Amino acid sequence: MEVALILLAAGKGTRMQSDLPKVLHAVAHAPLLEHAMASGAALSPARTVVVAGHGADQVRAAAQAFDDEAQVVVQEEQLGTAHAVGQAREALAGFEGTAIVLYGDTPFVQTETLEKMCDALKSNDVVVLGFDAADPARYGRLVMQGDSLDRIVEYKDATDKERAITLCNSGVVACKSDLLFDLIDAVGNDNASEEYYLTDIIGIARDRGLKATAVTCDEVETMGVNSRADLAAADAAFQSRARAAMLEDGITLMAPDTVYFARDTYIGRDTVIEPNVVFGPGVTIESGATIRAFSHLEGCHVARGGIIGPYARLRPGAELSEDVRIGNFVEVKNAQIAEGAKVNHLSYIGDATIGAKANIGAGTITCNYDGVMKHHTHIGANAFIGSNTMLVAPVHIGDGAMTGSGSVITSDVEADALALARAPQVEKPGMARKLFEMLKAKQQRGS
């Protein structure tokens, strides 16, 4: 059966105290909405519909940045979760499969859980995802009759007896798409909040003699974000899950609690991550690399055997081939560094290509920016760049060439040549001693 996703993301999120729509706040460097879309995306949905409201343009941009085929519909007024789902009706016209409703502010529902719901739908008409809440608070309560779900009652509308139920509604619903919209048509707003509750479709389905049930999951999966404190807690939950998964997959984390991952961090087995490393978005590390302490990486690729850091910074577009060595206080941006090249100390390499086995001396800088435009530096294979060389781009250093320490290189250097671009050394015998004497005499006269 084909699947379509409906993501509810119209809410303002007042408690976030923010100009940014709630679902665009980030956990592990990705918007909450992207996490929710990603858990559903693993089901290869035929269609994905995001119901936006507050900050709809920003929400549309984020949704389509993750999935350019996602449709975004706008719910002008937030009249309740059933009304929100109703906005997806046209976008799903003609769709014959299963619709799954997800919340954009609930990032951690696991794909396996959604698969379990799809399974349960084979013998039911509506399936709801429930969880046993440690503190059921104001969640909707699932009223079960044996294995059947009889109805869902919202906290505000519940009796004391119903409030004593700890099995709660996560909000995730699976139902055949056309039936879902049929049921929504029958939902009214005669309740404590005067809202159109999606949860009412269960009672309506049962009254029509249809079958409903609940699938349950761990409470961490249904964790929603309503405040900055929730956001921090969600990030912490993500990080502890990511660390455990990395360890499971054969990656050594010397101090797991100090390593910060992004949603899309990929690391190959037998890589060693030292303490206090931060991964921003878009990082791929192949097998057997070492990322030493206090390094910061984003948008980069480190091939097998690379040794990065300590205190290295890899920025977007850093492409490191096998066995590259990037040492302390080195920043690399938009640069391809070929096999076995070394940039070991205190350098900036930006908008550059570096050939295999080149050695870049301490303090070397590619001067890539002229104040208006960026320019490229090429360093050939086996080149030796002397310490503190300024490479004023655009500039091309041939294979096997050398630059003298302290050079400011403004023209191309041909292969195998030595380029020196610094003031020649002048030596004045005895002059240092004379200067000292002069200065000391001056000091004595002064005191």
Q: Which one of 5, 6, 8, 335 is in contact with ligand UD1 (CB under 6 A)?
A: 8
Ordered strands of the 325-328 beta sheet: 252-253, 272-273, 290-291, 307-308, 325-328, 342-345, 359-360, 384-385, 402-403, 418-419
CB of 11 to ligand UD1, least distance (A): 2
Q: Which one of 104, 340, 355, 361 is in contact with ligand UD1 (CB under 6 A)?
A: 104
Tally Cβ neighbours within 10 Å of residue 22.
28
Q: Provide the mask over 12-31, with x wherever binding to ligand UD1 is found by CB under 6 A and - wherever it is not.
A: --------------------
φ and ψ of 60, to 5 deg:
-60, -45
Active site (annotated) includes residue 54? no
Q: Which one of 3, 16, 51, 183 is in contact with ligand UD1 (CB under 6 A)?
A: 51
Q: Which one of 20, 79, 118, 272 is in contact with ligand UD1 (CB under 6 A)?
A: 79
CA gap 44, 53 in Å, rounded: 25
CB of 227 to ligand UD1, least distance (A): 12
139 annotated among ligand-binding-site residues: no
Which amino acid belongs to residue 333? Answer: K
Q: How far is CA 412 from CA 408, 421, 422, in A?
A: 12, 12, 16
CB of 226 to ligand UD1, least distance (A): 7
CB of 124 to ligand UD1, least distance (A): 19
Q: Which is nearer to ligand UD1, 28 or 168 (CB)?
A: 168
Q: Which is nearer to ligand UD1, 73 or 391 (CB)?
A: 73
Q: Provide the mask over 295-324, with x wherever binding to ligand UD1 is found by CB under 6 A and - wherever it is not.
A: ------------------------------
Burial tier of 424 (Cβ tally within 10 Å: 0-12, 13-18, 19+):
exposed
Q: Which is nearer to ligand UD1, 78 or 405 (CB)?
A: 78
Q: Please tell me whether residue 331 binds ligand UD1 under the rule CB under 6 A.
A: no
Q: Which of 345, 375, 376, 378 is catalytic?
A: 345
8 annotated among ligand-binding-site residues: yes
Q: What is the dihedral of CA 435, 436, 439, 442, to 10 degrees?
A: -110
Q: Provide the mask over 193-212, with x wherever binding to ligand UD1 is found by CB under 6 A and - wherever it is not.
A: ----xxx-------------
Residue 152 and residue 142 in contact, taking contact as beta carbons nearer than 8 Å: yes
CA gap 297, 288 in Å, rounded: 17
Assigned token pair, 310: 């300590």
Q: Please tell me whether residue 139 binds ligand UD1 under the rule CB under 6 A.
A: yes
User: Binding site for UDP-N-acetyl-alpha-D-glucosamine: which residues?
Assistant: 8-11, 22, 75, 80-81, 103-105, 140, 154, 169, 226, 315, 333, 348, 359
User: Binding site for acetyl-CoA: which residues?
Assistant: 362, 368-369, 387, 405, 422
User: Binding site: which residues?
Assistant: 8-11, 22, 75, 80-81, 103-105, 140, 154, 169, 226, 315, 333, 348, 359, 362, 368-369, 387, 405, 422
Query: Which residues carry out catalysis?
Result: 345
Please report, as ranges, the residues that interact with ligand UD1 according to CB under 6 A: 8-11, 51, 53, 75, 78-81, 83-84, 103-105, 139-140, 152, 154, 168-171, 197-199, 224
